Amino acid sequence: MDLTNLALFRTVALEQSVTRAAQQLQRAQSNVTTRIQQLEEELGCALFLREGKRMQLTEQGHTFLAYAEQLLALADEARQALHPQTPSGILRLGSMESTAAARLPKPLAELHEQCPQLSLEVTTGPSLPLLEAVQARRLDCALIAMPHSWHNGAWQADSLPSALEMDVVFNEELLLVLPAGHPPVSSPADVLPDTLAGFAQGCSYRHIALSWLGSSGRAIRVQEVGSYHAILACVAAGRCIGVLPRALLDLLREPPALQVQPLLYLDTLLVRRRGFATPAFAALRSSLLRSA
């Protein structure tokens, strides 16, 4: 099975368009179409539903995409293993949005300067989808926080899946963010708003907030937003509460007039599949640990 065809298939699947895939890969559109057709003939099934210019994966296409991701990742690991002293190739890093904003600019700039042959692809998202992507080989590694639950007055962390291993790279002070003028909070029962502004399900910070707030027996609604700036705007409007790291709040030149309440200290973990140890990953790991 030709790796070039697999890479073309993956790009078309992600772009849902032969035209955009051809532009991204700097290939003729006819060449991409021909190679996709050759791959479908080789596999004996249709990988895409053609709807005008839009390319939607079939059920078989979704199944094959997972295997294509694994094959391409293994091929890249094999190439890197032949040159252990030279970090190169592509390293796919996932990161929580807050970590990417507050923690990554300096170490990644240093990594680029030290390893110019290394191409780093950064994807942001909630922790649990990032974990799933690492296990499925769609990502090589990710910076995540494990969900914690509030039980009997103490925090209990979920366990990392056994197929993964990790390093602690940062420690964040997680803050409960409240509207300006909110009375002091010593327990979940003291929180007045009943709506949490947060990211989609799978976000560990959202899980932590709901576990703590829900321990009072109250029903907490969630207003899903797409950024920390939106969380702060919702809180500033007076009807929501939020949870975010202090390091992110410190980035703001003029933060809104809000009340903040320390909630817990939480480790940010660099996770990868057990045994994954390419030169590119080693260089990234060293850069992150130096900046911690």
CATH number at residue 233: 3.40.190.290
Average pLDDT, the chain: 91
Strands 148-151 and 48-51: unpaired
Rounded to whole angstroms, the Cα distance separating 25 from 3 reads 14
Helical spans, DSSP H, in 115-194:
127-135
Provide the domain count of the chain. Answer: 2
Tokens, residue 93: 């890093």
Q: Looking at the structure, do residues 152 and 263 belong to the same domain, yes or no?
A: yes
Indicate the pLDDT class of residue 253, thresholds 50, 70 and 90. confident
Domain-embedded: residue 108: no
Domain boundary among 67, 82, 97: 82
Domain boundary among 50, 82, 114: 82
Mean pLDDT of 92-113: 95
DSSP-derived letter for residue 51 is E
Domain boundary among 47, 82, 117: 82
Containing 232, the helix (H) or strand (E) segment is: helix 228-236
CB 9 within 8 A of CB 47: yes
Residues in a beta bridge with 57: 48
In this predicted structure, the answer to whether residue 70 has a pLDDT above a threshold of 90 is: no
Q: Look up the pTM and report it.
A: 0.81
- Location of structure tokens 């009340």: 259
Tokens, residue 270: 């660099």
Question: What range defines the domain where residue 183 resides?
Answer: 148-269
Domain-embedded: residue 280: no
